[in-house]
Structure 1
Amino acid sequence: MIRFLFRFVGLWVLAGAFVALVLDGVRSIASSEIVTTPLGVTWLSVSPGSLTRFQGFVEGTLSSPVWEYLVVPVLGAPLFAVLGVAGALLLLIGRRPAA
């Protein structure tokens, strides 16, 4: 049952990655240059308070270098890439074991 849940969520996350890729593609065609939307910009536009709380949590629980060297590059990565990797990992976790 839990494998099904991982696969189900993984497919939805991959679908979100595809939508983000199409939106970036449309923006790129419209502006005649490659345009990508970073994860941090999307998160900030959807819920700015939760991003601030997440930063405080990471810096308080782990350390400031973890925020600077690990989280900030992920927040600067294109949304479709982050969602694609997350969806692929969820699908790999939920795959059926080899017989």
Structure 2
Amino acid sequence: MLSFLSRVLGILCVAVALVTAVIDGTKSIAASQLVTTPFGAHWYEFAPESLNAAQAAVQRHVAVWLWDPVIQWILLLPTWGVAGALGALFVWMGTRRRRRNYGVA
């Protein structure tokens, strides 16, 4: 059951990556230069309260230094890259491992 949920979440993340790549591609063609939308901009556009809550939670409960160099760097990456990487990770985690028989009958 958990592997199924992981695969579904991974496929949804890959779908988000494809949609945002098409949107960025369309903007790039219209502007005649490379245009990418950062992950943080999309997060802030859809749920600014949760972005602020995540920053406060990480700085209070995990580590202050984690937000500034690490998570801010992730928030500046293109959305299609972050969603694609997360999708690939979730799909990989949801795949079933095959047992090897090694010739035992």
Bin the TM-score by the shorter chain: over 0.9
Amino acid of the structure 1 residue aligned with 2:66: V
Structure 2 matches for 1:32-51, cutoff 5 A? 32-51=32-51
Q: Deviations over 1:18-69 (max 9, x none)?
A: 0000000000000000000001001111111111111000000122210011
Deviation at 1:5, TM superposition (A): 1.2
List structure 1 runs of 4+ shifted beyond 2 angstroms. Answer: none
- Structure 1, unaligned stretches of length 5 or more? none
How far apart are the structure 1 equivalents of 2:8 and 2:43? 23
Cα offset for 1:98?
Answer: 2.2
Q: Secondary structure in 2 aligned to 1:73?
A: helix
Question: What amino acid does structure 1 have at the position aligned with 2:21?
Answer: L
CA–CA distance in structure 2, aligned partners of residues 9 and 50 of structure 1? 20
Aligned to 1:12: 12
Q: Decide which structure has the larger Cα Rg and report it.
A: 2
Q: For structure 2, which runs of at least 5 residues remain unmatched after alignment?
A: 100-105
For residue 79 of structure 1, what is the aligned residue in structure 2? 79
Calculate the TM-score normalised by the size of structure 1. 0.96
Query: Identity of paired residues, percent?
Result: 36
Report the TM-score when normalising by structure 2: 0.91
Partner of 1:26: 26
Find the residue that maps to 1:37 and give its secondary structure. Answer: coil
